[in-house]
């Protein structure tokens, strides 16, 4: 294990610090926005702005890296992201926050791109899968820790914004001091949605549906939790439970999808996530403990949906087009994540806080219906033709080259 981690330890430490600060901001900003009475729809736009910036970073980040290199790109983007975290506290204005979240999204996408291309360069055919697993686990663990940090200080005070900025700033140190040579600059990924849809309609639409259903949770989950009466500690636990449940759900659902028609697992996950969302809608008005129980159930089935749909798409995509398809699937997810918070905010304005999960339940139900329709149109691939499930995080197309299912695994060491 140590022999695998040693060549990438600086990068993994940077990831941990970066995502801890990012996780803290993800919970802090909606809570503070709610306390500032910015309005539910405006807070929904805040979430959409982040994903607009993230999509832009995925599309343009490779050009920046090719122009100035990995280390300069990483240090510049961490500086901008850290400054943005502080400016949120200095300019408590919804219009300023919209712009700051878009900038943060762009920076995070660029930082993911640098880290993942570097990890891919350091990985060998023998260590590729283990590095991806460690990277995914770090993503889930430190994001949870970051969310829980909101209990350390008053969300209306300055220290939490300062702490988020400090963590993001420190992420630049391991990369800036590394003695490893920078990897080859990444290529810009060509996106062809029609080609990907033709290869795997369920894969592409499932990634869009995952963004449509789950994007609102990241943007408005803390607002929902405050709205149903949870205090700051309760909000932190609520958000963390969903992430923890998602991590737990990845493996059994993924392994089951390797054994049977993957679309059946996607349908089951969507139906169960919709039921959890409906349960949240019904119980949140009068049963606080039920809110936490339903949050765990929601995370257990909703969070793995993206990785399940990516795995299904990979069953039909030519391995030589794996990175291209992954970029298209990620873009579809980002588009869903842009639209979802806006729809959820409108639903919450009319139905109250439970409207958040009404939108998620409808999106999951629609996806289940579409997948069942497609099951009647095309047979599942034979077991020997399937690629194994890998619990990939939703980051950048560059991660696809680290995925053991990619044809890049066949390159010489």
- Write the CATH number for 371: 1.20.1250.20
Q: Which residues touch 270 (CB under 8 Å, ≥6 apart)?
A: 209, 301, 305, 364, 365, 367, 368, 371
What is d(CA 402, CA 381) in angstroms, rounded to the nearest whole number?
Answer: 24
What is d(CA 405, CA 207) in angstroms, rounded to the nearest whole number?
Answer: 18
What is d(CA 378, CA 362) in angstroms, rounded to the nearest whole number?
Answer: 25
pLDDT at 335 (0 to 100): 94
Model confidence, pTM: 0.88
Give the total residue count for the chain: 413
- Report the domain count for the chain: 2
Range of the domain at 315: 189-390
What is d(CA 68, CA 65) in angstroms, rounded to the nearest whole number?
Answer: 6
Q: What is the DSSP string of 333-393?
A: HHHHHHHHHHHHHHHHHHH-TTHHHHHHHHHHHHHHHHHHHHHTTSPPPPGGGPPPP----
353 in a domain, yes or no? yes
Kindly state whether residues 250 and 272 are assigned to the same domain.
yes
Tokens representing 156?
């209306």
400 in a domain, yes or no? no
33 in a domain, yes or no? yes
Kindly report, residue by residue over 45-100, the tens digit of the pLDDT: 999 999 999 999 988 888 888 888 888 999 999 999 999 999 999 999 999 999 99
Domain boundary among 147, 178, 209: 178
Between helix 70-90 and helix 159-170 the angle, nearest 10°, is: 180
Domain boundary among 159, 178, 197: 178
pLDDT at 208 (0 to 100): 96
401 in a domain, yes or no? no
What is d(CA 169, CA 325) in angstroms, rounded to the nearest whole number?
Answer: 33
405 in a domain, yes or no? no
C-beta separation of 301 from 256 below 8 A: no
212 in a domain, yes or no? yes
Question: For the chain, which ranges sit under pLDDT 50?
Answer: 408-413
pLDDT at 395 (0 to 100): 61
Kindly state whether residues 223 and 108 are assigned to the same domain.
no
C-beta separation of 401 from 408 below 8 A: yes
Q: Which residues touch 65 (CB under 8 Å, ≥6 apart)?
A: 73, 110, 113, 114, 117, 185, 186
Kindly state whether residues 116 and 243 are assigned to the same domain.
no
By the 10 Å C-beta count (0-12 exposed, 13-18 middle, 19+ buried), 157 is classed as exposed
Whose tokens are 């590729």? That residue is: 128
What is d(CA 117, CA 70) in angstroms, rounded to the nearest whole number?
Answer: 9
404 in a domain, yes or no? no
pLDDT at 296 (0 to 100): 96
Kindly state whether residues 174 and 33 are assigned to the same domain.
yes
Kindly state whether residues 160 and 239 are assigned to the same domain.
no
What is d(CA 376, CA 364) in angstroms, rounded to the nearest whole number?
Answer: 19
Kindly state whether residues 234 and 371 are assigned to the same domain.
yes
pLDDT at 412 (0 to 100): 37
Kindly state whether residues 207 and 172 are assigned to the same domain.
no
Tokens representing 127?
């260590």
Kindly state whether residues 204 and 344 are assigned to the same domain.
yes
Domain boundary among 178, 206, 236: 178
371 in a domain, yes or no? yes
């Amino acid at each position: 294990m140590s022999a695998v981690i040693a060549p990438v330890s600086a990068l993994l430490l940077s990831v941990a610090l970066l995502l801890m600060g990012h996780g803290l901001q993800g919970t802090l900003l909606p809570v503070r926005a709610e306390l500032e009475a910015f309005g539910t729809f405006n807070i929904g736009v805040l979430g959409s702005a982040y994903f607009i910036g993230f999509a832009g970073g995925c599309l343009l980040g490779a050009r920046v890296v090719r122009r100035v290199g990995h280390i300069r790109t990483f240090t510049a983007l961490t500086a901008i992201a850290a400054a943005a975290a502080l400016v949120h506290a200095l300019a408590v204005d919804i219009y300023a926050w919209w712009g700051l979240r878009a900038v943060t999204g762009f920076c995070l996408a660029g930082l993911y791109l640098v880290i993942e291309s570097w990890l891919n360069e350091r990985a060998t055919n023998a260590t590729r899968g283990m590095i991806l697993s460690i990277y995914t686990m770090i993503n889930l663990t430190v994001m949870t820790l970051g969310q829980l940090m909101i209990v350390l200080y008053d969300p209306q005070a300055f220290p939490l914004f300062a702490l988020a900025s400090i963590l993001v700033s420190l992420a630049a140190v391991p990369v800036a001091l590394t003695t490893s040579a920078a990897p080859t600059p990444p290529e810009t990924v060509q996106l062809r949605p029609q080609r990907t849809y033709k290869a795997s309609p369920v894969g592409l639409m499932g990634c869009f549906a995952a963004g449509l259903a789950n994007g609102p949770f990241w943007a408005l989950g803390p607002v929902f939790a405050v709205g149903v009466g949870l205090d700051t500690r309760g909000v932190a636990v609520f958000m963390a439970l969903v992430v923890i449940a998602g991590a737990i759900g990845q493996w059994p659902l993924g392994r089951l999808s390797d054994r049977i028609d993957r679309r059946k697992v996607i349908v089951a996950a969507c139906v169960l996530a919709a039921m959890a969302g409906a349960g949240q809608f019904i119980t949140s008005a009068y049963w606080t403990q039920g809110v936490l129980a339903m949050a765990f159930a929601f995370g257990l089935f909703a969070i793995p949906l993206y990785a399940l749909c990516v795995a299904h798409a990979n069953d039909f995509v030519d391995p030589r087009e794996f990175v291209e398809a992954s970029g298209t699937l990620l873009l579809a997810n980002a588009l869903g994540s842009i639209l979802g918070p806006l729809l959820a905010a409108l639903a919450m304005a009319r139905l109250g806080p439970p409207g958040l999960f009404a939108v998620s339940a409808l999106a999951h139900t629609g996806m289940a219906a579409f997948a069942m329709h497609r099951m009647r149109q095309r047979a599942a691939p034979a077991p020997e033709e399937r690629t194994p499930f890998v619990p990939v995080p939703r980051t950048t197309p560059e991660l696809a080259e680290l995925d053991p299912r990619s044809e890049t695994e066949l390159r010489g060491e």
